[in-house]
Amino acid sequence: MSYNSVFSLPPGSSHIAMNDEETLSMDECLYAIFLASANEVSNAVAEHISGGTEKFAELMTSRAKALGAKNTNFVNPHGLHDGQHYTSAYDMALIMKSAIADENFLRYISTINFNIPPTERQPEERVMYNSNKMIIPGSVNYYEFCVGGKTGFTDEAQHTLVTYAKKGGVELICVTLMDEENNNYKDSAALFEYGFSLYGSQKILSADVFSKNIPVKDELGKTVGDVKAYIKEDIYLDMPKNIDKNKLVIDYGLGNAIYRPIKKGDILGTVSVLYEGLELKSLNIYASNGANIPETELVIGEAENIDKNETDGLGTAAGSVFVYMVILLALILLFILLVRVALYIFIGRKYRDRRFRA
């Protein structure tokens, strides 16, 4: 902790009473930020990563815009009020959507309490509890489907809350801004219930019944067998319960044939679920162990191992031509030999006839 990270905060802002020159691990820092909104720790992490809070805020803004944020600009790492520090509910939802893909992030926001052990400047443990009451069992604001989230408060922004909930296969993100104390929890729970009532997880395609035999061709386009295709998991979609399923289209991106070499487990293509032309989900299609092709046909670059009965047309044609040439050459040699023998006999007879006449 630098002197600036600790003592640049305005009075009354949330902190965990860190001292300058005090040390925490990065893991401890993140627990302090997520559970206790430790603003001085946010400053220290920003300085550690970018060398200063302003540069880190620029990094934050750049990352948010890369996610698609349209109305966000960060000027500090902790969120305390500044006229140039702003965001929107839509942008907060985008940021949360990206963040929950990280298992570590989920671990931090779902932790109820954490103790930081004594440090070189603090002999006592720092005991911290998550400020998000929606994940605290026994709280009047507890919501059983809430995985976690992050609270916030300033006089200007009032009570804010970004939460993530999961029920069955449906995942929802809720953002409440400019809310009254404790109403942010009630409003978030009501919005979650509304969302779960409209959306449900439905199975679209079962891996058990997915089965396709795909022709496999050699380099000349000759079919040498087929390979059975499979997907590794069922396809579920989180979608409105009143959706018109007749508008769902399953598209198999396999083509009419595939070309060897194909090995077991190779990706053959994709299967996608479309709704009015919009792709909702896509999974890879793999070559199964039940490929109906000799294993020698599946090996890359080992033509010498190919089964003699599976020789392609080019090899057969070349072999036949060679045999014919050998036979033709033998016949020519035999003809020449016969001609020479005949000439020898004829010439020898004429010579003997002349000698007898003389």
The verdict on 166 and 58 lying in the same domain is: yes
With b for 16 or more beta-carbon neighbours within 10 A and e for fewer, the 292-324 pattern comes to ebeeebbeeeeeeebeeeeeeeeeeeeeeeeee
By residue count, the chain amounts to: 358
For residue 280, give the 3-state DSSP assignment.
Answer: strand
The verdict on 70 and 213 lying in the same domain is: no
- Residue 23 placed within a domain: yes
The verdict on 33 and 165 lying in the same domain is: yes
Distance CA 197, CA 35 (A): 30
Domain boundary among 166, 185, 200: 200
The verdict on 36 and 67 lying in the same domain is: yes
Distance CA 79, CA 39 (A): 9
Domain boundary among 169, 200, 231: 200
For residue 162, give the 3-state DSSP assignment.
Answer: strand
- Residue 215 placed within a domain: yes
Residues 68-83 have pLDDT tens digits of 999 999 999 999 999 9
Residues 19-49 have pLDDT tens digits of 999 999 999 999 999 999 999 999 999 999 9
- Residue 123 placed within a domain: yes
Domain span at residue 228 reads: 206-310
- According to the model, what pLDDT value does residue 357 have? 46
- Residue 139 placed within a domain: yes
Query: Residue 143: which CATH number?
Result: 3.40.710.10
Is the separation of the CB atoms in 264 and 227 below 8 Å?
no
Q: For 80-132, give the DSSP string.
A: ---TT-B--HHHHHHHHHHHTTSHHHHHHHH--EEEEPP-SS--S-EEEE-S-
- Residue 347 placed within a domain: no
- Residue 62 placed within a domain: yes
Q: Report the domain count for the chain.
A: 2
Among 75-89, 200-214, 302-316, 334-348, the minimum mean pLDDT is found in 302-316
Distance CA 45, CA 52 (A): 9
The verdict on 57 and 160 lying in the same domain is: yes
Residue 295 phi/psi, 5-degree rounding, is -55, -30
Query: Residue 283: which CATH number?
Result: 2.60.410.10
The verdict on 25 and 169 lying in the same domain is: yes
The verdict on 218 and 174 lying in the same domain is: no
Domain boundary among 200, 218, 240: 200
- State the pLDDT confidence band at 310, using cuts at 50, 70 and 90: very low
- Residue 246 placed within a domain: yes
For residue 260, pLDDT beyond 70: yes
The verdict on 45 and 175 lying in the same domain is: yes
For residue 313, pLDDT beyond 60: no
Give the CB-side neighbour count of residue 92, counting CA atoms within 13 A. 19
- Residue 319 placed within a domain: no
- State the pLDDT confidence band at 291, using cuts at 50, 70 and 90: very low
Give 62-91 as a 3 state SS string.
Answer: HHHHHCCCCCCECCCCCCCCCCCCECCHHH
- According to the model, what pLDDT value does residue 297 have? 43
Quote the pTM value.
0.66
